[in-house]
Structure 1
Amino acid sequence: MVIAGGGPAGRALARACARRGLVTVLIDPAPARRWRATYGLWADELPSLPGNAVACAPSTTLAFGTAPHVLDRRYLVVDNAGLRTWLDGGYDVVAGTVSGVDHGGQGSSVRLEDGRVLAAGLYFDASGARPRGDRYEQTAFGAVLPAEDALRLVDSPDTAVFMDWRGSEQGFLYVLPLGDGAVLVEETSLARKPGLPLELLAARLRARLKAVGLTSRGREERVRIVLDVPVPRRGRTVPFGAAAGLVHPATGYSVATSVRLAEPVADAVARSWERGPGAAAAAAHGALWPASARTVHGLRRHGLRALCGMPSEMVPVFFDLFFTLPIPLQRAFTSGREDAPATVEAMSALFRIAPWKVRKHLIGWRALRRSR
């Protein structure tokens, strides 16, 4: 196995393949580089995550549309070093960048920019989704503040704010304790095509901080997530992680999904390997995208387009409604990747309780309920 991309998705897949006795090579442009992004996830999405890969488990998670909502669901902030340690081992790492791949009957040749060529039985692309002008993106600009400064934005340094639309219809504030006496505050644009420029989000964050007497004086974080990736076509190159459309189109989350799916994908490859590379690639794609997952992905993309079509003043109202849904329905839409009936129920329940000013932008969701 040759896997391009040394982030959490690529390393999770490399570990899973190696543990099944598959000789595995991971290609990483900068193997020693630390992961700088801040990753959060719901604990029920990845119950196997070890304690040393958790930086912080906030005592309370809140969301604000126009009113506060306490989310009765455990949220975790990932310790990147611990996550990487958990995912490392059993495979070789090659420093380099893939420039091209040639597929043959017995395998593939993976060409690197420096001229080296690696022979591969099966090639996975876990190098991420490329920004394109015709795809929705979520962008964000964040600053890391001392916890005492963040108390001007939240009541407790142990509180996570999943999203806060108060005071703005153009974007929301994300507040996340990091477990080391610091807090990440991030100005986030939900979804745009293309995403809002980071410079604009940085200016909004600095203005928000200035309004409560704060200035950004710590580490900064820049985020650009491609949301609207379709289910990839079957082929000899098997995309994985964000490259495979595993980013949730409406939330931007993907790490827990990618790490969790590494195991069944590796199982599928190991079971089918004796039938040849083509069969192994088809099996990997099938493990990633069963019919139920393709259906849910289509529903989520439909939800993304409906949300992006709303007037900006309606978006906080929409989220007020969403966070009044029972937690199982919230979980179904955010995490039920292969549960189409529950996803439809969540969407139709939201449609039923929405006032007409919101409902008219969700009119297609009623059709989804009727066709279930």
Structure 2
Amino acid sequence: MRVAVIGQGPAGLALAHRAAARGLYVEAWDPQPYALHVLSVFTDELPAWAKNLPARSTTTPVVYTHGGRKIRIDREYRVLDNARVWQKLTTFPVHRELVDADTVTPAELGADVIVDARGTRDLYTPGSPVQVATDDFVAAQQQAHESVFMDFRDVPSNRFTYQIPLDSRRMLRQDTVLATRTPPEEADVFIPLLASPYAGSHIPYGARAGFVNPFTGYSVATSFCLADETADAISARLLHGTGGSSPRLPWEKPSFRTDRYLSVLCLRTLLSVPSPLYRTMIEGVFSLRPELARKLLILGYPGATLEGMARIWATLAGSDKVRLARAFAGAATSGLHLDRKGYP
């Protein structure tokens, strides 16, 4: 059974690696040898096979609220060493060339099935919400060598500063906009939070399959976690066809689709309230117990999303509770629905 994977960002790499580990013959296409942007994840979000991937740094980050409160996140945070990660996981042939995934057929690539893992920049619709950030690489100073996951101090209420050490000498600082419908023309990070549905004939994966959490913008850990299950589903479909007895792809399952629906509601709700309240809700995530916060930040745990939002709502002032409840009701009654693949 032969699988062609177009796109070797973190999602395509993870799936190709796990499919090859299961005995499928995998070939990949991507002109770039490895991802150039900084990739960071909490170690406890990764599956067992990925927990010890090469890292440039590991830290225990903190969050600073707009009022100056310091919240320590008692979880290991890894900045991946992209070159070494790609070298370790590339256990299959890779063609360093562009392929038009919109028109190519499996037969043209000598494959039984094609996986499209090219991300979602081409699926972005102007006016839809995005998360954006600008990068600033600075020399590490001893007094500033702190890993800060989010810093809401001294920035506009719809922004936060992100600061992580890359090694003993350099740090990355990002000025991040949580969600906006009017992004700047230039941005180093550009994450469509509600990309258009994938309409191609291949199997999408990663952000292209709807893995981006609309509430947080996170998707890398989800792509790693779902790689095994997706590879198994592809293998079963190649063996037995795509009839009623074939396994669902993980993002087509009710739990994933429900959580994506809830996260879309959260995003639309928070975009409709004043940005200081949006900021307060995001800050509230890090006051939750660690396991609940972990599940809230990624997709696939609808119960955690409901519980987390309810607990954060309960901590708000009375006027903010009313404002948020009205905004949520408005988002829920605006005709939002998801198709079979989990897209709004």
Aligned equivalents of 1:321 and 1:100: distance in 2? Answer: 41
Structure 1 position 325, deviation (Å): 2.2
Alignment correspondent of 1:309: 272
Structure 1 position 327, deviation (Å): 2.1
TM-score with structure 1 length normalisation? 0.78
2:66–2:154 contact (8 Å) kept in structure 1: no
Aligned equivalents of 2:110 and 2:239: distance in 1? Answer: 17
Query: Does residue 80 of the first structure (1) align with residue 68 of the second (2)?
Result: no
Alignment correspondent of 1:342: 304
1:238-257 equivalent positions in 2, closer than 5 A = 238-257=203-222
1:1-372 equivalent positions in 2, closer than 5 A = 1-28=3-30, 30-32=31-33, 34-48=34-48, 49-66=50-67, 67-98=69-100, 100-101=102-103, 108-109=106-107, 117-130=108-121, 131-148=124-141, 155-157=143-145, 159-168=146-155, 169-198=157-186, 222-229=188-195, 236-276=201-241, 278=242, 283=247, 286-335=249-298, 337-363=299-325
Percent identical pairs in the alignment equals: 28
1:163-185 per-position Cα deviation (integer Å, ceiling 9, x unaligned): 11111224111101112421101
Partner-residue secondary structure (3-state), 2:167: coil
1:231–1:294 contact (8 Å) kept in structure 2: no
Q: State the one-letter code of the partner of 2:260.
A: H
Aligned equivalents of 2:278 and 2:125: distance in 1? Answer: 24
Aligned equivalents of 2:186 and 2:129: distance in 1? Answer: 15
Aligned equivalents of 1:54 and 1:353: distance in 2? Answer: 37
Q: Computing the radius of gyration over CA atoms, which structure comes out larger, 1 or 2?
A: 1
1:62-83 per-position Cα deviation (integer Å, ceiling 9, x unaligned): 3423232222222221111222
Aligned equivalents of 1:198 and 1:64: distance in 2? Answer: 27
Residues 263/194 of structure 1: CA separation in 2 closer, same or farther (3 Å cut): farther
1:61–1:162 contact (8 Å) kept in structure 2: yes
| Unpaired runs of at least 5, structure 1 | 110-116, 200-221, 368-372
Structure 1 position 329, deviation (Å): 2.4
How many pairs were matched up? 322
CA RMSD of aligned residues (A): 2.6
Structure 1 position 287, deviation (Å): 2.5
Aligned equivalents of 1:241 and 1:174: distance in 2? Answer: 24
| Unpaired runs of at least 5, structure 2 | 330-344
2:206–2:223 contact (8 Å) kept in structure 1: yes
Partner-residue secondary structure (3-state), 1:100: coil
Q: State the one-letter code of the partner of 1:64.
A: T
